[in-house]
Chain A
Amino acid sequence: EAQVTQNPRYLITVTGKKLTVTCSQNMNHEYMSWYRQDPGLGLRQIYYSMNVEVTDKGDVPEGYKVSRKEKRNFPLILESPSPNQTSLYFCASSQPGLARHEQYFGPGTRLTVT
């Protein structure tokens, strides 16, 4: 089944404790991205990657890191989480070369930083 998986689905952590949210896709997509979703603000892009070893900042990259060492994986790293990073996070993948570039989203990771 074609899918994007994220882990963990729920995470409660404390300020400053480094964490990684994993994202994996099995569709051989070149494009992957991370979004955060907050009430009233919609989906905001954190980082995106056009291909392996190619990453670019989205609209809200501060406080986040990503890496793209393999085509299928795109982990999101919070080196020193802060309470303002409490949010719902989505990973997505797509194939830009195709006609639609439709995003396939993962199930989301709800992060709480206390």
Chain B
Amino acid sequence: SQKIEQNSEALNIQEGKTATLTCNYTNYSPAYLQWYRQDPGRGPVFLLLIRENEKEKRKERLKVTFDTTLKQSLFHITASQPADSATYLCALVRSNDYKLSFGAGTTVTVRA
């Protein structure tokens, strides 16, 4: 069956360091992969998308990589700030019907 797994542990890092989150999937051939940020009690907010034929995408302090051979995406937050503290979700999008499936999320806490 299809499975999407994110870092099972919460991530606690010092301000200024880089946070690296993983998203692994099995039995899935996504057209592309998305990353969202979710704050407590709120709906997720879209951050970045990376397509199956792309290796890397950047947006300000965020960087996403996508390795379809390893079936893995890495999400990096560089020069982290306390305001980056949130839960980050990866989502895979199926090409034929645009159905999305989300990972359980990784909670990041950035200490000042």
Contact = CB atoms under 8 A, between A and B. Distances in A.
B42 A107 contact: yes
B43 A108 contact: yes
Nearest to A48: B99
Nearest to A59: B101
Interface stretch (B11-19, B70-78, B102-110): B102-110
Interface stretch (A14-22, A62-70, A74-82, A94-102): A94-102
Given A42-B105, A92-B43, A108-B42, A33 B100 contact: yes
A40 B6 CA distance: 11
Nearest to B44: A105
Interface of B: 32, 34, 36, 41-46, 49, 89, 91, 93, 97-105
A31 B105 contact: no
Nearest to A39: B104
Given A90-B43, A100-B46, A102-B46, A50 B97 contact: yes
A22 B109 CA distance: 34
Contact residues of A: prevailing secondary structure: strand
A107 B99 contact: no
Contact of A105 (B32, B45, B105): B45
A108 B41 contact: yes
Given A102-B49, A103-B46, A45 B41 contact: no
Contacts of A42: 89, 102-105
B96 to A, nearest CB: 11
Contacts of A105: 43-45
Interface residues of A, number: 29
A50 B100 CA distance: 12
B42 A43 contact: no
A43 B93 contact: no
Contacts of B98: 31, 50, 94, 96, 101
A47 to B, nearest CB: 11
Contact of A43 (B46, B89, B97, B99): B89
Contacts of B93: 101
Nearest to A102: B46
Nearest to B31: A101
